[in-house]
Chains A and B, each alone.
Chain A
Amino acid sequence: MKRGKHQDVFTERPAVKAAPDAKQLRKLAGDWLKQRRADAELSQADLAARLGLKYYTFISQVENGFSRVPIEMMGAWARELGLEQAAFAGHLLMYYEPELHRLLFGAERK
């Protein structure tokens, strides 16, 4: 599904019941990343090449919910998906560190 350019892709919230586990949240983050990559019309191999990775397997590892986007790669990952870096990192924090996200942004973004 394509999105309008100005549609806010950061308004999506994890659609899970109370107290989801870390594994479940990583999977949701992976699904969100996969959708954003599809919006940017990139394959896993395209994104890996743009991020300077030799193989595209790590993109799959992250999108399948087994790993996180490393902090040092977040900026480049956001840029290649055409997303604003701070909002991208903040959105991933919601999945990767939900309690920290709640403390930082709870009142304004929840």
Chain B
Amino acid sequence: MSVVAFERKQNGGEWSEKELSTLVAALCAAPGSGREWEAGMTERGDAQFYLLGPLPDQVCELCVSRIGGRYILEDGSGRLLFEHRNLEFVALHAKAAVPSTSWLMVRAITLWCAIRNAIHEKVEPLLVEGEELFVQFVPQLAAFA
């Protein structure tokens, strides 16, 4: 007789290795993400996973908790984003909720455009003014030569 070993559902206590690897793979595995995470417990002994923002503040951006076999996804302000009994689903929602690199790219491009605009407005008139002065003085210098 063969016995099928069903995986036991975690209902309380610390995160299992499998649960942690699911969350870390979904949220922290992106190369160069620079995100750190920490695990903790509530006073009732329910597990919590905190995805931390960048240094120096490292404030919690997302929190996944397990209560009675149910996974709760909240942001750092306590807004309930998603809840389900399947951690894979919760991890997918968490991944979608993480501020992504593309958002950073948009910020970087906006900053670059602002700098270029400032150069165009402030520096270029100075250069044009210098050029005009040069054009006025060259004939006079040529006359002296």
- The 9 A-B pairs at the shortest CB distance, nearest first, are namely A58-B78, A66-B60, A60-B42, A57-B65, A66-B50, A22-B57, A67-B60, A64-B40, A67-B76
Greatest chain A CB density within 10 A among B41, B42, B46 is at B42
- Add 8 more A-B contacts to A58-B63, A60-B41, A70-B77 (CB < 8 A): A21-B56, A56-B44, A60-B65, A61-B48, A62-B78, A66-B50, A66-B52, A66-B63
Q: A67 vs B67: C-alpha distance in the bound complex, in angstroms?
A: 19
Q: A57 vs B41: C-alpha distance in the bound complex, in angstroms?
A: 9
Q: Which residues of B (38-74) have their CB < 8 Å from a CB of A?
A: 38, 40-44, 46, 48, 50, 52, 56-60, 63, 65, 67, 72, 74
The prevalent SS among residues of B at the interface is strand
- A45 interfacial contact with B, CB 8 Å: yes
Give the number of chain B interface residues (Cβ < 8 Å): 24
- Residues of chain B with a CB closer than 8 A to A53's CB: 78
- Residues of chain A with a CB closer than 8 A to B77's CB: 67, 70
- A85 interfacial contact with B, CB 8 Å: no
Q: A43 vs B44: C-alpha distance in the bound complex, in angstroms?
A: 9
The chain B residues found within 8 Å of chain A, CB to CB, are 38, 40-44, 46, 48, 50, 52, 56-60, 63, 65, 67, 72, 74, 76-78, 80
The chain A residues found within 8 Å of chain B, CB to CB, are 21-23, 26, 43-45, 53-58, 60-62, 64, 66-68, 70, 73
Shortest distance from the beta carbon of B93 to any chain A beta carbon, whole Å:
15
Shortest distance from the beta carbon of B9 to any chain A beta carbon, whole Å:
19
Cβ-closest chain A residue relative to B38: A66
